[in-house]
């Protein structure tokens, strides 16, 4: 019995000095190993008289529990210290630069095309891709612009031969689509793409983008055109955008309209962008001229249609606040990299 | 077309307090845009002054110190003009006056005080072409009876306001004050006033002097009359001022009247010196290479599409474009013959484009109203009699092959509303036509509209619909939701898929010009085609359509590196253009350019090399569904690429593109390019994306390495391994290439990782060993390879 009390003392004494898990383990061997102190005392039970055996057994268990409790306590403490040390060692400066997982950028011109495509596809329009090398026939004659027509003046053309040219307008898609629609049924298309005119200055580029829209069906009216362009304008420049029609002239539409949108910058109050008018001229549009319908094989007594066209570069410039059309074609990577995120919904 | 307010006031009474700005804006809303509106002379703070005293400046050899009476007081002004002198009346701009050149301030000039400036007309902003010689050399001298202290602009009747319209090409009728008056009449609901065409005739008859012969269909109307005994002198101020406001330079009364009438009626006139003209006047087409000296003194070589005026023996003028020198009205001209005619607009346009675009040719090109031709002739006689003392000659030589009458167009009220999408009642529609001065005949559901001949732009129902829309207010039509069947639109998303992928891979999309330098077109390709050059390029740099986009990307590369930008990673999807078998063709292409670092991070940057480019190309092809079908071969390499680091890309034996490093002869930097012909690619079908069962059982991975001859490609070895490995060999990777110590000079070591898998059970090593040995055996046999000891 005295031996047990002695062991208790030794436990308290030794355990208090433990500094590492290794030492702790050694102590476990010292007390509970095959020849451990507690194991040894436990073996003495044979020599204990029967009436004291029960008491002796309890005492041994008591000392064993005592050891285990202290052991667990110290082990937990040491393990926690160890992991804390490891965490400290692994400390980093999270403000250091990252490994550059770089994405690229999508050109603003193509962003606008995709946006316009998505909008019109959702309204049931097919996107057609017209040829950029065209004939005089499809670029002018079939759009009611015969030889010598004064409207040719405003479109200084790059000719390749007397017959072939670089299209000056995506309206060429009108003539092709009507001709290729063999059933002469309803049409709903847009044609975005590049066009070319002999013109180069701060506000003009000899190459620029246009999107043409064409709807042909029974009972299409100017009011339908306006309703459609209102949706277009709101989607592109914001919900508060207003649409204004002004009469105009294009050989391939009659009546023709210039379409002004309320200035997205000042909201229509007047600013430098809209030259204090509150309006920006954005699209040309109108009801498809009966001659154009007829040349496309449609009976103008049965079918009517509307067409509209607008400059993609200007839309991109408006949307992204780009001051000069030439920036779109210069491709300074610092410019390009500004377009590296998703557009707002 | 510059519209003078004073001029148009002769023909229409506009509301007195209506500002010129309001007029311009209202015109815009009916379809007539303007560039400028405002005062003809916009200077402020000007008064008429009298030079009371003029002395030389004590400290200058050309400045004068003047005492000028400006009405309420006398001020000292320093003036450098050579014509300044005592007693003359002058235009004084007082301190605070805003002139086109700046604001006038009180100042001290070389010690002498100056309280303003004496002005020339040029300094008031009048264009130099309107100035007389004496006005360009010094200050403007007003008549001696000019009232001191008053507004000189008002005194000179230059207090006009102008709107400079940019008209649409169909509205030739608006190139006249009368046309403008009708348009304004429709807007303001006012009647257009009559034009004075009165004159008295003398005794002579033109038929005794002149014969007319028109030999071409290109002249449907030709009128000639005579005005004799004219006095050539300066025009009255109102004519000069209105010409100036309209942008035309006053010359003398006779020339000015012809221009004045053109402005009023839109009909250009030509005056001939009757005595130099001779006895015949005619119209015919020019002969090829015929020569004519025009009134600017130039000898013009003509062609058979030019219309000429002829005197019976030779051409004396280019019809509608420019008169000839030999019959020009000069200072000593006494008798004139007036021509008022209509010529073929298309031919005039052709000739004027060659020779000169003028106020006259512009009007001929847009088309003319024959009624106005007669009117202009009479108006001209009226003014010549009144302001040039002319005696009007009896009779008129006339050639007429046009019918002159108003057009009648029938239209239903329902159709007007159907096309506009509006709901206008009959009264509104009829009122619109009344405002336009179109006569109408209402027949219940339809209306017959009589369109005046001046409106040459109105020919069909749709034109009338536009008139209703214009005057009613096209913007008053409310937008509506289109009533057409719901369907899903179609768009090819291949290009945008590629764009999104390459964006994610860190590449920047460019947009470059299709027209490039001619000498670049055949580069970066071995393809056979004919280049396409435009007929009249702006510059050689932009003269020919590109076949490949690589030259464009390289110029973007150069632009950027010249500006210190590095790590240039670009792509563009665009077209390449070419001619083949006489057909003009355009293919969609994807071009990629890489240089510098592909990515960078602290201490370890990944530089671009051939395999980075190859990896990107493979990702694109995988993404588009061609996984496992493409291969690269070192053949058919354009000479601009590195012959040992380039090749062609194939799918199913079809060449779809090129890849490679740029030849070190061309670029010192390491630049890698690739171009894929997307049009060709899209012709190659892909299979649908479908789930393939993954194995539930573990496979076995084994490595092996071979010593091989340098010229044996990894692809050849992989093919051999694949064949020998059988169906359980599901993946082969090359994981190491080694050259150097332990390997002979012309040899290399290639290490492969083989993965065997059976979808139905767990494979054992015993099952794999024979396959593995067969692989080794085949590779050793076929490629003279030696297995490396591991």
Written as tens digits, the pLDDT of chain A (345 aa) is 777 888 888 888 888 888 888 888 888 888 888 888 888 888 888 888 888 888 888 888 888 888 888 889 889 998 999 999 999 999 988 888 877 778 899 999 999 999 999 999 999 999 999 999 999 999 999 999 888 787 776 668 999 998 999 999 999 999 999 999 988 899 999 999 999 998 776 677 899 999 999 999 999 999 999 999 999 999 888 888 899 999 999 999 999 999 999 988 888 888 888 888 889 999 999 999 999 999 999 999 999 999 999 999 999 998 898 988 899 999 999 999 999 999 887
What residues contact residue A214 under an 8 Å CB cut-off, 6+ apart? A173, A174, A177, A187, A188, A189, A190, A191, A288, A305, A306, A307
Would you mind telling me the total number of residues written for chain A in this entry? 345
Closest CA in chain A for residue B30: A247
- Verify whether the Cβ–Cβ distance B482 to A334 is below 8 Å: no
Q: Kindly report the CA angle at A18 between A12 and A22, in degrees rounded to 5? A: 130
Helix (H, G, I), strand (E, B) or coil at B394: strand
Query: CATH code at B76?
Result: 2.40.50.140
CA distance B153 to B119: 12
Both B9 and B71 in a single domain?
no
Nearest to A114 among B478, B480, B496 (CB): B496
Both B654 and B549 in a single domain?
yes
Size of interface A-B (CB pairs under 8 A): 252
Both B508 and B653 in a single domain?
yes
Nearest to A328 among B511, B515, B601 (CB): B511
Question: pLDDT tens digits for B456-478?
Answer: 999 999 999 999 999 999 999 99
- Verify whether the Cβ–Cβ distance B488 to A131 is below 8 Å: no
- Verify whether the Cβ–Cβ distance A290 to B29 is below 8 Å: no
- Return the CATH fold of A108-336: BirA Bifunctional Protein; domain 2 (3.30.930)
Contacts of A229 in chain B (CB under 8 A): 479
Whether residue B230 contacts residue B390, with contact meaning beta carbons closer than 8 Å, is answered with: yes
Where do we find the tokens 């008491």?
A: A55
CA distance B662 to B593: 10
Q: Is the pLDDT of residue B384 over 70?
A: yes
Contacts of A193 in chain B (CB under 8 A): none
Return the domain boundaries, chain A.
Answer: 2-89, 108-336
Picking from B400, B421, B439, the residue at the C-terminal end of a domain is B400
In this prediction, the answer to ipTM > 0.90 reads no
Q: For an interface test with A, which of B421, B529, B606 has the most A Cβ atoms less than 10 Å from its Cβ?
A: B421
Q: Is the pLDDT of residue B790 over 60?
A: no
- Verify whether the Cβ–Cβ distance B31 to A248 is below 8 Å: yes
Q: Is residue B548 part of a domain?
A: yes
Q: Is residue B485 part of a domain?
A: no
**pLDDT band, very low/low/confident/very high, at B685 (cuts 50, 70, 90):** very high
Contacts of B536 in chain A (CB under 8 A): 158-159, 198
CA distance A241 to A247: 20
Contacts of B421 in chain A (CB under 8 A): 221-224, 226
Q: Tell whether the torsion through CA atoms of B610, B613, B618 and B619 is positive or negative.
A: positive
Both B554 and B523 in a single domain?
yes
Picking from B683, B708, B730, the residue at the C-terminal end of a domain is B683
- Cα-trace Rg, chain B: 42
Contacts of A161 in chain B (CB under 8 A): 535
- Cα-trace Rg, chain A: 43
* pTM confidence score: 0.85
Q: For an interface test with A, which of B343, B351, B419, B557 has the most A Cβ atoms less than 10 Å from its Cβ?
A: B419
B427 against B405, higher pLDDT: B427
Whether residue B35 contacts residue B78, with contact meaning beta carbons closer than 8 Å, is answered with: no
Q: Is residue B578 part of a domain?
A: yes
pLDDT of residue A67: 84
Domain count, chain B: 6
Q: Is residue B689 part of a domain?
A: no
Both B390 and B520 in a single domain?
no
Both B109 and B65 in a single domain?
yes
Nearest to A97 among B460, B507, B602 (CB): B602
Nearest to A337 among B463, B489, B508 (CB): B508
Q: Is residue B522 part of a domain?
A: yes
- Verify whether the Cβ–Cβ distance A332 to B422 is below 8 Å: no
Both B206 and B120 in a single domain?
no
DSSP readout, B334-384?
Answer: --EEEEEEE--HHHHHHHHHHS---HHHHHHHH---HHHHHHHHHHHHHHH
Both B350 and B414 in a single domain?
no
Q: Is the pLDDT of residue B748 over 60?
A: yes
- Verify whether the Cβ–Cβ distance B462 to A219 is below 8 Å: no
Whether residue A160 contacts residue B535, with contact meaning beta carbons closer than 8 Å, is answered with: yes
Nearest to A330 among B28, B499, B559 (CB): B559
Q: Is residue B695 part of a domain?
A: no
- Verify whether the Cβ–Cβ distance B169 to A151 is below 8 Å: yes
Q: Please, what is the angle between helix A2-15 and helix A50-89, to 10°?
A: 0
Q: For an interface test with A, which of B347, B469, B479, B595 has the most A Cβ atoms less than 10 Å from its Cβ?
A: B479
pLDDT of residue B741: 87
Question: pLDDT tens digits for B601-631?
Answer: 766 788 999 999 999 999 999 999 999 899 9
Both B631 and B762 in a single domain?
no
CA distance A182 to A190: 18
Taking the CA of residue B560 and the nearest CA in chain A, the distance in Å comes to 6
Contacts of A109 in chain B (CB under 8 A): 511
Both B77 and B131 in a single domain?
yes
Above pLDDT 90, what percent of chain B? 75
Contacts of B565 in chain A (CB under 8 A): 332-334
- Which helix (H) or strand (E) segment holds residue A10: the answer is helix A2-15
Q: Is residue B173 part of a domain?
A: yes
pLDDT of residue A274: 84
Q: For an interface test with B, which of A190, A246, A275 has the most B Cβ atoms less than 10 Å from its Cβ?
A: A246
Taking the CA of residue B340 and the nearest CA in chain A, the distance in Å comes to 22
Both B387 and B322 in a single domain?
yes
Taking the CA of residue B591 and the nearest CA in chain A, the distance in Å comes to 14
Nearest to B499 among A101, A110, A290 (CB): A110
Both B655 and B761 in a single domain?
no
Nearest to A198 among B419, B496, B538 (CB): B538
The CB-side HSE value for B418 (13 A sphere, CA atoms) comes to 16
- Verify whether the Cβ–Cβ distance B584 to A133 is below 8 Å: yes
- Verify whether the Cβ–Cβ distance B535 to A159 is below 8 Å: yes
CA distance A158 to A151: 16
- Verify whether the Cβ–Cβ distance A125 to B536 is below 8 Å: no
The CA-based diameter of chain B, rounded to the nearest angstrom, is 131
- Verify whether the Cβ–Cβ distance B477 to A245 is below 8 Å: yes
Provide the domain limits for residue B774. 700-787
- Verify whether the Cβ–Cβ distance A124 to B489 is below 8 Å: yes
Q: For an interface test with B, which of A94, A122, A150, A258 has the most B Cβ atoms less than 10 Å from its Cβ?
A: A150
Contacts of A251 in chain B (CB under 8 A): 170
């Amino acid at each position: 019995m005295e031996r047990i009390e002695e062991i208790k003392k030794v436990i308290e004494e030794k355990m208090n000095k433990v500094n590492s898990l290794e030492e702790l383990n050694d102590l476990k061997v010292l007390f509970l190993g095959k020849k451990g102190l507690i194991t040894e005392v436990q073996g003495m039970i044979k020599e204990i008289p029967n009436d004291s055996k029960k008491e002796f057994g309890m005492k041994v268990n008591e000392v064993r529990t005592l050891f285990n409790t202290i052991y667990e306590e110290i082990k937990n403490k040491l393990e926690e210290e160890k992991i804390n040390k490891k965490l400290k060692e692994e400390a980093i400066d999270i403000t250091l630069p990252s490994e550059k997982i770089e994405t690229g950028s999508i050109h603003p011109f193509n962003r606008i095309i995709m946006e316009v495509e998505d909008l019109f596809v959702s309204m049931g329009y097919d996107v057609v891709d017209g040829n950029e090398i065209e004939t005089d026939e499809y670029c002018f004659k079939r759009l009611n612009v015969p030889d010598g027509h004064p409207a040719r003046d405003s479109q200084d053309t790059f000719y390749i031969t007397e017959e072939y040219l670089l299209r000056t307008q995506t309206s060429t898609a009108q003539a092709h689509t009507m001709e290729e629609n063999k059933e002469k049924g309803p049409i709903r298309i847009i044609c975005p793409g590049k066009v070319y005119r002999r013109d180069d200055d701060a506000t003009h580029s000899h190459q620029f983008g246009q999107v043409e829209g064409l709807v042909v069906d029974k009972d299409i009216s100017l009011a339908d055109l306006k309703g459609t362009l209102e949706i277009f304008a709101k989607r592109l420049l914001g919900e508060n955008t207003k649409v204004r029609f002004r009469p105009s002239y294009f050989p391939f539409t009659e009546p023709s309209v210039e379409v002004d949108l309320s200035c997205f910058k000042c909201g229509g109050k007047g600013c430098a962008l809209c030259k204090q008018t509150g309006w920006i001229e954005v699209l040309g549009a109108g009801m498809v001229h009966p001659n154009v319908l007829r040349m496309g094989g449609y009976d103008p007594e049965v079918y009517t249609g509307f067409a509209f066209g607008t400059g993609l570069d200007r839309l991109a410039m408006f949307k992204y606040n780009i001051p000069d059309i030439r920036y779109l074609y210069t491709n300074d990577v610092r410019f390009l990299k500004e377009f590296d995120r998703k557009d707002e919904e | 077309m510059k519209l003078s307010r004073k001029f148009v006031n002769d023909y229409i009474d506009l509301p007195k307090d209506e500002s010129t700005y309001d007029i311009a804006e209202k015109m815009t809303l009916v379809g007539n845009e303007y560039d400028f509106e405002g005062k003809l002379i916009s200077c402020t703070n000007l008064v008429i002054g009298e030079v009371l005293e003029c002395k030389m400046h004590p400290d200058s050899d050309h400045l004068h110190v003047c005492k000028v009476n400006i009405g309420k007081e006398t001020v000292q002004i320093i003036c450098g003009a050579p014509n300044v002198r005592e007693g003359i009346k002058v235009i004084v701009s007082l301190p605070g006056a805003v002139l086109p050149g700046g604001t006038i301030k009180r100042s001290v000039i070389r010690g002498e005080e100056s309280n303003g400036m004496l002005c020339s007309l040029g300094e008031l902003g009048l264009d130099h072409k309107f100035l007389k010689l004496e006005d360009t050399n010094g200050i403007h001298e007003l008549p001696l009876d000019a009232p001191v202290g008053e507004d000189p602009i008002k005194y000179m009747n230059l207090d006009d306001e102008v709107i400079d319209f940019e008209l649409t090409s169909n509205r030739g009728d608006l190139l006249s004050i009368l046309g403008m008056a009708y348009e304004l009449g429709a807007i303001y609901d006012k009647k257009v006033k009559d034009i004075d065409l009165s004159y008295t005739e003398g005794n002579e008859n033109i038929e005794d002097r002149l014969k007319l012969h028109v030999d071409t269909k290109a002249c449907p109307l030709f009128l000639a009359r005579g005005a004799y005994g004219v006095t050539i002198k300066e025009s009255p101020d109102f004519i000069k001022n209105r010409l100036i406001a309209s942008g035309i330079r006053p010359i003398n009364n006779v020339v000015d009247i012809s221009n004045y009438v053109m402005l009023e009626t839109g009909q250009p006139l030509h005056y001939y010196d009757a005595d130099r003209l001779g006895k015949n006047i005619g119209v015919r087409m020019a002969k090829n290479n015929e020569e004519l000296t025009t009134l600017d003194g130039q000898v013009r070589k003509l062609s058979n599409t030019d219309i000429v005026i002829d005197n019976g023996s030779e051409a004396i003028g280019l019809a509608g474009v420019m008169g000839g020198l030999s019959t020009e009205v000069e200072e000593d001209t006494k008798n004139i013959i007036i021509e008022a005619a209509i010529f073929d607009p298309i031919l005039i346009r052709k000739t004027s484009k060659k020779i000169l675009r003028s106020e006259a040719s512009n009007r001929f090109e847009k088309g003319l109203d024959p009624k106005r031709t007669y009117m202009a002739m009479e108006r001209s006689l009226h003014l010549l009699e009144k302001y040039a003392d002319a005696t009007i000659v009896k009779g008129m030589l006339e050639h007429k092959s046009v019918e002159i009458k108003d057009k009648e167009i029938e239209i239903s009220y329902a159709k007007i509303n159907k096309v506009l999408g509006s709901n206008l009642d009959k009264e509104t529609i009829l009122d619109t036509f009344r405002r336009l001065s179109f006569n109408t005949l209402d027949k219940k559901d339809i209306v017959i509209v009589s369109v005046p001949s001046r409106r040459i732009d109105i020919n069909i129902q749709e034109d009338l619909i536009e008139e209703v829309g214009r005057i009613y207010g096209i913007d008053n039509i409310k937008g509506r939701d289109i009533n057409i069947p719901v369907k899903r639109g179609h768009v090819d998303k291949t290009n945008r898929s590629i764009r999104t992928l390459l964006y994610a891979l860190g590449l920047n999309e460019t947009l470059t010009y299709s027209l490039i330098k001619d000498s670049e077109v055949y580069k970066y390709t071995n393809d056979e085609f004919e280049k396409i050059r435009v007929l009249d390029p702006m510059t050689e740099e932009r003269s020919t359509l590109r076949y490949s986009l690589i030259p464009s990307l390289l110029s973007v590369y150069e632009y950027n590196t010249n500006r210190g930008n590095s790590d240039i990673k670009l792509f563009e999807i665009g077209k390449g253009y070419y001619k083949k078998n006489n057909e003009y063709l355009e293919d969609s292409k994807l071009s990629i350019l890489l240089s510098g670092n592909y990515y960078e991070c602290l201490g370890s940057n990944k530089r671009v090399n051939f395999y980075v480019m190859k990896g990107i190309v493979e990702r694109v092809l995988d993404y588009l569904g061609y996984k496992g079908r493409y291969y690269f071969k070192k053949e058919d390499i354009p000479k601009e690429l590195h012959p040992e680091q380039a090749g062609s890309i194939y799918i199913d034996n079809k060449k779809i593109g090129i890849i490679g490093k740029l030849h070190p002869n061309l670029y010192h930097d390491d630049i890698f390019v690739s171009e894929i012909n997307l049009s060709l690619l899209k012709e190659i079908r892909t299979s649908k994306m479908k789930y393939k069962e993954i194995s539930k059982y573990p496979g076995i991975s084994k490595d092996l390495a071979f010593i091989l001859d340098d010229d044996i490609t990894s692809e050849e070895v992989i093919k051999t391994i694949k064949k020998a490995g059988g169906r359980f060999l599901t993946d082969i990777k090359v994981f190491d290439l080694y050259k150097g110590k332990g390997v002979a000079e012309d040899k290399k070591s290639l290490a492969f990782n083989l993965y065997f898998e059976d979808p139905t059970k767990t494979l054992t090593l015993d099952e794999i060993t024979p396959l593995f040995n067969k692989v080794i055996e085949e590779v050793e046999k076929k490629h003279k390879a030696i297995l490396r000891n591991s």
